[in-house]
């Protein structure tokens, strides 16, 4: 089993719908992150969490919300999806991130039509 699991892998949804992307990890890391990737723009941070009670906004949090249900689970929600939220979404975890970097999930490809 993968260390960081994202579901679903692919999703097509309609404008205005609410959608949740889920992430779970077995690495025992405290820190979890949600990034989105658009062609040519690299990965941009949406939200991050240091533990269940510590949630922080990243550089592009507008239109998104998150929930840290447990140390191992971190969900990203789009309350009312819009087409420019079409992107590849990655969940990542870290322990001592400045030394070891991050471990990424396999990604969720989201298309909003």
Partner 1 sequence: QKEVEQNSGPLSVPEGAIASLNCTYSDRVSQSFFWYRQYSGKSPELIMSIYSNGDKEDGRFTAQLNKASQYVSLLIRDSQPSDSATYLCAVIRGRDAGNKLTFGGGTRVLVKP
Extended strands (E) in 1-113: 4-7, 10-13, 19-25, 31-37, 43-51, 54-57, 64-70, 73-78, 87-94, 103-104, 108-112
Select from 20, 55, 60, 88 the one that contacts partner 1 (CB under 8 A): 88
**Residue 98 found at the interface with partner 1 (CB under 8 A):** yes
**Pairing of β 10-13 and β 108-112:** parallel
CB nearer partner 1, residue 91 or residue 112 = 91
111 binds partner 1 (CB under 8 A): no
Q: Least Å distance between CB 84 and partner 1?
A: 18
1 to 30, contacts with partner 1 by CB under 8 A? Answer: none
What Å distances lie between residue 57 and 39, 60, 100, 105, CA to CA? 22, 8, 22, 20
Spatial separation of the C-alpha atoms in residues 24 and 17, rounded to whole Å: 23
Q: Which is nearer to partner 1, 15 or 56 (CB)?
A: 56
Q: Where along the sequence are the contacts to partner 1 (CB under 8 A)?
A: 31, 33, 35, 40-45, 48, 50, 56, 58, 88, 90, 92, 94, 96-102, 104-107, 109
């Amino acid at each position: 089993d993968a260390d960081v699991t994202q579901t679903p892998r692919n999703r097509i949804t309609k404008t205005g719908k609410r959608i949740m992307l889920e992430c779970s990890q077995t690495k025992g890391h405290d820190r979890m992150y949600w990034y989105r990737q658009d062609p040519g723009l690299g990965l941009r941070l949406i939200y991050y969490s240091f533990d269940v009670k510590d949630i922080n906004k990243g550089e592009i949090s507008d239109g998104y919300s998150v929930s840290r249900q447990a140390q191992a689970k971190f969900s990203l929600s789009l309350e009312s999806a819009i087409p420019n939220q079409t992107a590849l979404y990655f969940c990542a975890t870290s322990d001592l991130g400045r030394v070891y970097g991050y471990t990424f999930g396999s990604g969720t490809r989201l298309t909003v039509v």
